[in-house]
Amino acid sequence: MRLVLVGPPGAGKGTQAQFLAAHYSIPHISTGDIFRANLKASTPLGLQAKGYMDAGQLVPDEVTNEMVKDRLTHDDAINGFLLDGFPRNTVQAEVLRAFLIEKQTPLEAVLELAIENAIIIKRLSSRRTCKDCGAPASPEASKCVSCSGELYQREDDKEEVIAKRLAVYEEQTAPIVDFYRTEGLLITISADGDVADITERAITALSRVRG
C-alpha cells in the first residue's frame, strides 16, 4: 500500500498512522522523523536544513522534497509506505506525483481524516500534560498517573492557539485535498469517535482500493 494521510491538527493522524502502518506492514514516514534523522546523521540535506533552521527560517520545499524522495528509496519502502505530514501543499504534491510516476510506483490512495473544527478544539483544549515527565493525561485526571506529577495545559493546547493552527491548515494544506480529489485518489472518513472504530473505518475504506 502506497498511502498519504491528511487531516487537520488534532484529527489523530499520528495514532492512525501507527495502526495502519502495522496493518499493511509498511513504514510510517513522517517529515519530523525524516528531518531528525538527517540532522542527526549530518547528511548534506540535513546540513542544508540546519542552516535555514539556525537562521530562524523555514526549510524550503526543495530541501524537504529531496529528503522525502531519498527516504522513499530505502529498502523498507519498496513494498509501500505511509506518508504523514507530506505533502503539505500542492507544490510538494506535484513533486511527489512526478517522482513516484518516474519510479513506476504511483500512490494508491490518499486518506483524509475529516472532523469538525469545534470537535478538534474541544478535544485538544481539554488535554493536560505532566510537568515532571511530560506524559499526556486525561481531562478527568488530577495528577499524572505515571509519576503523580502536577498537570498543566501546554501553550499550543489553548483554544486560541488551536484555532490559529486550524486556520493555517485550511490556508496552506487543505488545498491538497482538492488536488487529490481531482486525481481520483481521495478517500474521506470521519475521524470522530473511538480510535479503534476510526481504524476499522480506514481499513474498510482502503480495502475497496485493492478490490
Q: Please identify which of the residues 13, 71, 123, 128 carries the catalytic annotation.
A: 13
Annotation says 127 is catalytic: yes
Annotation says 40 is catalytic: no
> Got the DSSP string for 166-204?
HHHHHHHTTHHHHHHHHTT-EEEEE--S-HHHHHHHHHH
29 burial type by CB count under 10 A (0-12 exposed, 13-18 middle, 19+ buried): buried
Q: Please identify which of the residues 69, 88, 181, 201 carries the catalytic annotation.
A: 88
Annotation says 88 is catalytic: yes
| Single-letter amino acid code for the residue at 211 | G
What's the Cα-to-Cα distance from 177 to each of 7, 8, 10, 63, 109, rounded to whole Å? 9, 11, 17, 23, 12
- Which segments of 4-131 does DSSP mark as H helices, in order? 13-24, 31-41, 44-54, 61-71, 90-102, 117-125
Q: Nearest Cα to 2, choosing from 96, 114, 115, 113?
A: 96
Tell me if residue 21 falls in helix, strand or coil.
helix
Annotation says 181 is catalytic: no
Q: Please identify which of the residues 127, 158, 181, 201 carries the catalytic annotation.
A: 127
| Single-letter amino acid code for the residue at 126 | S
Q: Please identify which of the residues 69, 97, 165, 201 carries the catalytic annotation.
A: 165
Q: Please identify which of the residues 36, 103, 131, 154 carries the catalytic annotation.
A: 154
Query: What count of other Cβ atoms lies within 10 Å of the Cβ of residue 30?
Result: 19
Would you name the residues annotated as active-site residues? 13, 88, 127, 154, 165
